[in-house]
Chains A and B, each alone.
Chain A
Amino acid sequence: MHSVWKTSILFTLVTAVLLGLVYPLLLTGVAHVLFPRQAAGSLILRNGQVIGSELIAQSFTADKYFHPRPSAAGNGYDATNSGGSNLAQSNAKLAQRIQGDIDRLAKENPGRPVPIDLVTTSGSGLDPDITPDDAYFQAPRVAKARALTEDAVRALIAQHTEGRTLGLLGEARVNVLELNLALDDLSK
């Protein structure tokens, strides 16, 4: 029995150094050399300042920007408190929240069905993408606010739409932050 405890303690310490320090630290070094941008979080810089990450949704509320999906992360888009709403379909709060958003959007865009991803919170609350449907739905508002033609905005969406990986995996998507930055560049 005595030797079991001794071996257990020694094995824990020896392998902890290997698995808990050598492995992650070595990996950090190699990742930094091979993929420095991704290893640092795919940050986007403008004028030397970090304005966000390509992979993390940030809040956009102005009419001239495309809006990301609603967020249940913290008080919204909190990248230190990720998560979904965890509301069940049988929860009246979920039905009321979604229906309220649909009704508001339907009033602003009469006669057009509202894309479902625009009124549902994502799993992470930080989903950087919207569906192409969602982007095209928002195009008239953005075009109007920027005094651009709707066609110009739609062309930009098409340009920033990423299809399924290898035509197979996942779903088509548009990165909101990248699209908005492209819009700002266009308006300059």
Chain B
Amino acid sequence: MTANGWLQYAVYSLVLLVTVRPVGIYLERVLEGRRTWLHPVLRPVEGLIYKLCGVNAEAEMSWREYAFAMLGLSAVTMVFTYAIERLQFYLPWNPQHLANVGTDLAFNTAASFTTNTNWQFYTPESTMSYLTEMLGLATHNFWSAAVGIVVAVALVRGIKRTQSPTIGNFWVDMTRTTLYILIPACVLYALLLVWQGVPQNLHAYTSAHTVEGATQTIGQGPVAGQEAIKMLGTNGGGFFNANSAHPYENPTPFSNFLEILSIFIIPAGLTFMLGRMTGSPGHGWAVFAAMFALFTAGFATAYWAESHPYSAIHGATQTATATLPTGNYEGKEVRFGIADSSLFATITTDASCGAVNGMHDSFTPLGGMVPLANIMLGEVVFGGVGAGLYGMLIFVVLSVFIAGLMVGRTPEYLGKKIESFDVKMAMLYTLIFTFIVLVFTAVFVLLPNVGLGTLTNSGPHGFSEVLYAFTSGAGNNGSAFAGLGPNWWWNIAMGFDMLIGRFLMMIPVLALAGNLAMKKSVPPSPGTFPVNTALFTVLLVGVVLIVGALTFFPALSLGPILEHLLLKSGQLF
């Protein structure tokens, strides 16, 4: 570890902190339907979308109507993307004449982008045409990001409203999120990326005659526009196989800084919006503090682990010098080094982004455990756009419930009594995730032809590859221990892993939102557990860690922890 590495963490944190308030205020304005400075330009477009789609913008929806609309849109967009993949050979903007995508891979990819996971069982630059990238995949980056945000906002409305049968209008929320938040931010961001060196063109791949006389075909395309929403929408699906490690996706340390900032900027702003909308700014900051503490712990662990020399080799510089902040460089890029790679890996899995700027599969056992554990904790450390906030609010419900049990009275949360139905929905949310991750992993490691035969690494790390895949899928993250080779079973199983992990978990959230909205507000009493204090932050962090550890510690022991201990004793596989 170097002082400069920690300084980068500090500067990043500071910049993030500065954005929280303005971003939160802007999000609230947009989602409460108030006027923004973009209205003169975008308000007519908003009205046009409602008109073309037959949306009554004044109508409010119950949680069930909201959920049906969300599921309906997701189903239609998934079929839309599947169709484009299957037909890309016949469609325009395919200068490399790439073939139609096979059925199982097309299903997996459509599920992957619909669920904001962006797991990729393919090499994009040799599989997907420019049209598929733009119209089939990048569109989903917008849609699925907006879906995450609107579900979180629906839940916040549920907390805020009293005796209300409705939680908002799905179509209006989707349109406003896309128009006033995602598109303007992406246009500006994409241009900054182009300035740094990210390509944006529709040319066929370039054929270069190299200095030593060989031929090198250089894959390019409309990268910048997709890169922007990929990061800002915490999607994470790369235009290239190497994702944000690829110099065309992430050419400089500055583009890298923008990318990690853009992962957290909306989720962090949402905590401020939570505080404002519920009239309890302190609560927003208490949630922010819990997230920030978990982020720092993750980064410290990953950075520490990745800075360690590789014990199985000798004769190379592995202690840091002024010009070489050395450590585990396998799978990492020189321009980022150890600090930025550790920071990126932590942030991308704290959130449900899943973009990578280094290969997690080649991280040290404990360094690679950080991203895995981050996803296992539910990606509630800022988290995916929207998904992180509603995931954390589930833990908040559990925390006030536990606090209520301790003092022996009905728990309350911001004036709402937390009752049996609410806790059931919260538990359903946590249990669905656990269930699918562990069951799928168990099945795949037990069937040699299905799972084990597809791995790059054996021993405990091979187990970690399978565990990471299903955790990443169910958590809608999309990062990977990428040594895994796909087959038909993987495509189908991961497809369902992602769909269940997205939609079966969103329904309890919306049900909770609807149920909370119906309730009366009770004024706080001396027995109410305050949710805007440091004590609450500590309890919340504790609940997140305990639920995560109780659920996944045995699996982690068989994977990264065992690998670490064996590697230390000199055992290779």
Question: Residues of A at under 8 Å CB distance from B?
Answer: 1, 3-12, 14-16, 18-21, 23-24, 27-28, 30-32, 34-35, 38-43, 49-56, 58-62, 65, 69, 73, 77-92, 94-95, 98-99, 102-103, 106, 113-117, 119-133, 164-165, 168-173, 177, 180-181, 184
Residue of A nearest to B256 (CB): A170
Collect the chain A residues with CB atoms within 8 Å of residue B460's CB: 90
Which A residues touch B194, using CB under 8 A?
A: 31, 34-35, 38-39
Q: Are A38 and B196 in contact (CB under 8 A)?
A: yes
Given contacts A16-B80, A128-B247, 9 further A-B contacts (CB under 8 A): A8-B72, A12-B76, A24-B134, A59-B216, A94-B330, A129-B335, A131-B323, A169-B257, A171-B335
Which residue in chain B gives the minimum CB-CB distance to A133? Answer: B324
Choose one: B201, B328, B361; the contact of A86 (CB below 8 Å). Answer: B361
Say whether B206 contacts A123, CB under 8 Å: no
Q: Are B139 and A113 in contact (CB under 8 A)?
A: no
Task: Note all chain A residues with C-beta closer than 8 A to B68.
Answer: 1, 4
Which B residues fall within an 8 A CB radius of A? 4, 7-8, 11, 49, 52-55, 68-69, 72-73, 75-77, 80, 123, 125-126, 134-136, 138-139, 142-143, 171, 174, 178, 183, 186-187, 190-191, 194-203, 205-212, 214, 216-220, 222, 224-226, 240-242, 245-248, 251-254, 256-257, 310, 312-318, 321, 323-337, 339-341, 356-359, 361-362, 364-365, 368, 456-461, 481-483, 563, 566-567, 571-573
Which of B200, B332, B340, B361 sits near A122, CB closer than 8 Å? B332
Determine which of A30, A56, A123 lies in contact with B245 in the assembled complex, contact meaning CB atoms within 8 Å: A123
Between-chain CB contacts (< 8 Å), 28 pairs: A4-B69, A7-B72, A16-B139, A24-B222, A31-B224, A32-B200, A35-B194, A38-B196, A40-B203, A40-B220, A51-B209, A55-B247, A55-B248, A56-B216, A58-B208, A59-B216, A80-B218, A82-B245, A88-B368, A88-B483, A90-B460, A94-B312, A95-B572, A102-B316, A116-B324, A124-B246, A126-B247, A165-B254
Residues of B within 8 A of A91 (CB): 456-458, 461, 572-573
Could you tell me if B337 and A171 are in contact, using CB atoms closer than 8 angstroms?
Answer: yes
Are B123 and A28 interface neighbours, CB within 8 A?
no
Q: Choose from A38, A43, A173 the contact partner of B335 (Cβ within 8 Å).
A: A173
Give every chain A residue within 8 A of B337 (Cβ-Cβ): 170-171
Give min CB distance, A135 to chain B, whole Å.
Answer: 10
Q: Which of A51, A54, A89, A123 contacts B567 (CB 8 A)?
A: A89
User: Which of B199, B210, B254 touches A39 (beta carbons < 8 Å)?
Assistant: B199
Is the Cβ of B199 less than 8 Å from the Cβ of A41?
Answer: yes
Q: A1-B68, A27-B200 are in contact. Are A123 and B358 (CB under 8 A)?
A: yes
Chain A residue nearest to B238 (CB atoms) is A82
Q: How far is the CB of B442 from chain A (nearest CB, A)?
A: 21
A27 touches B461 (CB 8 A): no
Is there an interface contact between B77 and A12, defined as CB atoms closer than 8 Å?
A: yes
The answer for the CA separation of A18 and B482 in the assembled complex, in Å, is 33
Contact check, B252 vs A170: say whether CB atoms are below 8 A apart.
Answer: yes
Contact among B171, B186, B210 with A7 in the assembled complex (CB-CB below 8 Å): B171
Q: Is the CB of B482 within 8 A of A86?
A: yes
- Residues on A with C-beta less than 8 A from B125 are 80-82
How far, in Å, is B327 (CB) from chain A's closest CB?
8
Query: Given the complex of chains A and B, what is the CA–CA distance between A6 and B76 in angstroms?
Result: 10
Tell whether, in the assembled complex, residue A168 and residue B8 are in contact, meaning their CB atoms are under 8 Å apart: yes
Give the residues in chain A near B4, CB-CB below 8 Å: 164, 168
Chain A residues with CB below 8 A from B143, complex form: 15, 19
With both chains docked as a complex, state the minimum distance between the C-beta of A48 and any C-beta of chain B, in angstroms: 11
Q: Which residue from chain A places its CB closest to the CB of B572 in the assembled complex?
A: A92
Indicate whether A117 sits within 8 Å of B242 (C-beta atoms), given known contacts A15-B143, A43-B206.
no
Alpha-carbon distance A131/B365, docked complex (angstroms): 25
Please indicate the chain B residues that have their CB under 8 angstroms from the CB of A84 in the complex: 242, 245, 330-331, 358-359, 361-362, 482
The minimal Cβ–Cβ distance linking B511 to chain A, given in whole angstroms, is: 18
CB of A108 to closest CB in B, whole Å: 13
Measured CA separation A85–B362 after assembly (Å): 8
Asked whether, in the complex, the Cβ of B336 is within 8 Å of the Cβ of A10, the reply is: no
Contact check, A7 vs B335: say whether CB atoms are below 8 A apart. Answer: no
Q: Say which residue of B212, B220, B247, B573 sits within 8 Å of A124 (CB atoms).
A: B247
Q: Are A55 and B197 in contact (CB under 8 A)?
A: yes
The CA of A70 and the CA of B315, in the complex, are separated in Å by 17
Smallest Cβ-Cβ distance to A181: which chain B residue? B211
Q: Give the Cβ gap from B486 to chain A, nearest Cβ, in Å.
A: 13
Quick check: B53 and A10 within 8 Å, CB to CB?
yes
Q: Which residue of B lies closest to A80 (CB)?
A: B219
Closest to B132 in A: A20
Q: How far is A16 from B143 in the complex, measured between Cα atoms in Å?
A: 9
B211 touches A131 (CB 8 A): no
Q: Are A79 and B219 in contact (CB under 8 A)?
A: yes
Knowing A41-B206, A51-B208, A168-B4, the reply to whether A124 touches B242 (Cβ < 8 A) is yes
Q: Across the A-B interface, give the 6 residue pairs with the lowest CB-CB distance, nearest first.
A: A170-B253, A123-B245, A171-B337, A20-B135, A84-B359, A86-B483
- How close is B322's CB to chain A, nearest CB, in angstroms? 9
B540 to chain A, nearest CB (A): 32
B318, A116: Cβ atoms under 8 Å? yes
A83 to B480, CA, bound (A): 12
In contact, A171 and B336 (Cβ under 8 angstroms): yes
Q: Which of A21, A69, A99, A127 contacts B247 (CB 8 A)?
A: A127
Measured CB to CB, the nearest residue on chain B to A73 is B242
Query: CA A77 – CA B27 in complex, angstroms?
Result: 43
Using known A-B contacts A27-B224, A43-B206, A102-B316, determine if residue A65 contacts B211 with beta carbons closer than 8 Å: yes
> What residue of chain A has the Cβ atom nearest to residue B330's Cβ?
A120
When distances are taken between beta carbons in the complex, the residues of chain A under 8 Å from B218 are 41, 43, 52-53, 56, 79-80
Q: Which of A90, A169, A177 has the most CB of B within 10 A?
A: A90
Is B123 a contact of A81 with CB atoms below 8 Å? Answer: yes
- Name the CB-closest residue of A to B12: A169
Question: Could you say which of A24, A58, A91, A165 has the most chain B C-beta atoms within 10 Å of its C-beta?
Answer: A24
Chain B residues within 8 Å of A19, by CB: 138-139, 142-143, 178, 183
Partner of A114, one of B202, B208, B316: B316
